[in-house]
């Protein structure tokens, strides 16, 4: 049950946007550019980062939605669970692991980021632009996780599937 009286039972992000669009609709163009615009990170990799950050934050709605979107972009079913269980042994490309370590640390302990963390990403073959994109995806989903959790939105598996289908079909623009 959401915390806001302006939201229905089993509210979704779409319900929150309808109720508070003057604030939240402004995020859509940024999200669409971030998640579907040009990047060295593929849309699937960005969605994997989104789902991973959401899982670390225990945001059921965002994890439920973005894990499905990541799968829609070709990420294997069970990959996120493997990453959460043992990131070192998870079946993800080796070059992506330093990025996933980076966003995990940035999510859990942002004040402890070091040059060494960035150097590990760069040593894996990524450049500054890719790192900035990974940081931006991480930051955006930490923000969204807090909007969702702070308003009490949990959703249902059906709502996650619906939101994922819309993101796969239309992107973040609407």
Nearest C-alpha neighbor of 63 from the set 157, 129, 131 = 157
Against a cut of 0.85, is the pTM above it? yes
* Dihedral, CA of residue 168, residue 16, residue 143 and residue 91, to nearest 10: -30
Please list the pLDDT of the chain residue by residue as tens digits (174 residues).
899 999 999 999 999 999 999 999 999 999 999 999 999 999 999 999 999 999 999 999 999 999 999 999 999 999 999 999 999 999 999 999 999 999 999 999 999 999 999 999 999 999 999 999 999 999 999 999 999 999 999 999 999 999 999 999 999 986
Nearest C-alpha neighbor of 68 from the set 155, 146, 1, 132 = 155
Considering the domain 13-170 in this protein, what is its CATH number?
Answer: 1.20.1290.10
The predicted structure's pLDDT at residue 174: 67
Rounded distance between C-alpha atoms, residue 26 and residue 49, angstroms: 22
The predicted structure's pLDDT at residue 1: 83
């Amino acid at each position: 049950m959401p915390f806001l009286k302006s939201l229905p039972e089993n509210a979704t992000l779409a319900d929150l946007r309808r109720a508070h669009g003057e604030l939240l609709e402004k995020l859509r163009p940024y999200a669409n550019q971030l998640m579907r615009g040009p990047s060295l990170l593929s849309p699937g990799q960005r969605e994997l980062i989104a789902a991973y950050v959401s899982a670390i934050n225990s945001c059921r709605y965002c994890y439920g939605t973005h894990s499905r979107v990541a799968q829609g972009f070709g990420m294997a079913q069970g990959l996120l669970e493997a990453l959460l269980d043992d990131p070192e042994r998870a079946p993800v490309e080796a070059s992506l692991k330093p990025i996933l370590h980076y966003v995990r640390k940035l999510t859990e302990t942002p004040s402890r980021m070091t040059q060494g963390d960035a150097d590990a990403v760069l040593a894996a073959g990524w450049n500054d632009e890719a790192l900035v994109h990974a940081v931006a995806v991480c930051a955006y989903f930490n923000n969204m996780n807090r909007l969702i959790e702070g308003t009490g939105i949990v959703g249902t598996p059906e709502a996650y599937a619906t939101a994922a289908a819309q993101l796969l079909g239309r992107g973040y623009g609407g």
